[in-house]
Amino acid sequence: MEKDVIILGIESSCDDTSAAVIRNGVLLSNVTASQAVHEAYGGVVPELASRAHQQNIVPVVDHALKQAGVDRSDLSAIAFTRGPGLMGSLLVGVSFAKGMAASLGIPMIDVNHLQGHVLAHFIKERDDDHHQPQFPFLCLLVSGGNSQIVLVRAYNNMEIIGQTIDDAAGEAIDKCSKVMGLGYPGGPIIDRLARQGNPLAYEFSKPNIPDYDYSFSGLKTSFLYRLRDWLREDADFIEHHKEDLAASLEKTIVDILMKKLWKAARDLKIRHVAVAGGVSANTGLRNAFHEYAERYHWKVYIPKFSFTTDNAAMIAITGYFKYTDKDFCTMEKPAYSRVTMV
């Protein structure tokens, strides 16, 4: 009988400390400690994030192993996010993972965070879970820091065919939410308000840039200027119209994202289309995926909420694929803050 492959995954690239255990590709545990400390600042404060990772990493890893019923001596390898992300945050997970792997004498596997988001679609929760995308597929990767269209030919063969030339979609939502005084992170708040508003109430500027690239900074500026004009006429404009503003903003962003994705799918004749990253939690975007599936006969893949935001399960599954390829990392490879995709 073949030996089980058991991978511990560790994610600490931003403000979530997460650890997960995967056995033979099937998820056994996925534990995440989020950091509420940033809410008061309206954004992630890097120094506070790395301090919180230091406090969380040991209990989170311990919890993930216990929940999985796995002893550390059973582990085949440790996979960790090496980048991109906040350097202070990454250093905590990278150093911990390297130290633990070295002390156990098992391989260490470095994972690109963005590749992890894409491969989240391959996390199995049961042996008989067969809802994985077929290669090649397109993946719209939308988060607080990225908006990309990725052509995925295989687990280890991905190409970014389009990306934002300025702000990311999540960043635009968060900034517009901030100027409306709604709080941080804005995505879930805008989503909730949008459900009660009219998406056709206001029209905001849409970019006109070539190929499959995105741009969201013009939208952000037009939202800001128009809001300023409206507030001059009615000081309570936001309070009176926040649902319509949220719904119209969300519709504009979803339309921009879907238009380029549709163009790429048409040009490349690909009908398997996935979405990944924190913004894929958005209800309007999820609904748009279902509509396109019906209208254009796409087969769409939308991850579970817990696998859309930063999590270690996606790092562990990527580690599992790299383990089967014997694609290991060495001690001297450092964390990296930038680089969009391997």
Interface positions with ligand KG4 (CB under 6 A)? 14, 143-145, 170, 173-174, 185-188, 191, 277-279, 281-282, 309-310
Q: Which is nearer to ligand KG4, 100 or 168 (CB)?
A: 168
Tokens in use for 219? 């939208």
HEC string of 236-257 equals CHHHHHHHHHHHHHHHHHHHHH
Q: Which is nearer to ligand KG4, 133 or 277 (CB)?
A: 277
Minimum Å gap between C-beta 288 and ligand KG4 is 12
Q: Which is nearer to ligand KG4, 70 or 288 (CB)?
A: 288
DSSP letter assigned to residue 328:
-
Q: Which is nearer to ligand KG4, 170 or 319 (CB)?
A: 170
Minimum Å gap between C-beta 135 and ligand KG4 is 23
Minimum Å gap between C-beta 83 and ligand KG4 is 13
- Burial 243-254, CB ≥16 within 10 A → b, else e: bbbbbbbbbbbb
Minimum Å gap between C-beta 16 and ligand KG4 is 7
Distance in angstroms (rounded) separating the CA atoms of residues 245 and 81: 37
Minimum Å gap between C-beta 130 and ligand KG4 is 26
Q: Which is nearer to ligand KG4, 68 or 313 (CB)?
A: 313
Closest CA relative to residue 61, chosen from 25, 24, 26, 104: 104
Minimum Å gap between C-beta 33 and ligand KG4 is 14
Q: Which is nearer to ligand KG4, 23 or 251 (CB)?
A: 251
Contact 162, 213 (CB under 8 A): yes
Distance in angstroms (rounded) separating the CA atoms of residues 185 and 228: 22
Minimum Å gap between C-beta 303 and ligand KG4 is 11
Q: Which is nearer to ligand KG4, 136 or 199 (CB)?
A: 199
Contact 242, 182 (CB under 8 A): yes
Contacts of 26-29 with CB under 8 Å at 24 or more apart are 26/124, 26/125, 26/126, 26/127, 26/129, 27/123, 27/124, 27/125, 27/313, 27/316, 27/317, 28/67, 28/68, 28/69, 28/70, 29/63, 29/64, 29/65, 29/67, 29/68
Distance in angstroms (rounded) separating the CA atoms of residues 227 and 235: 10
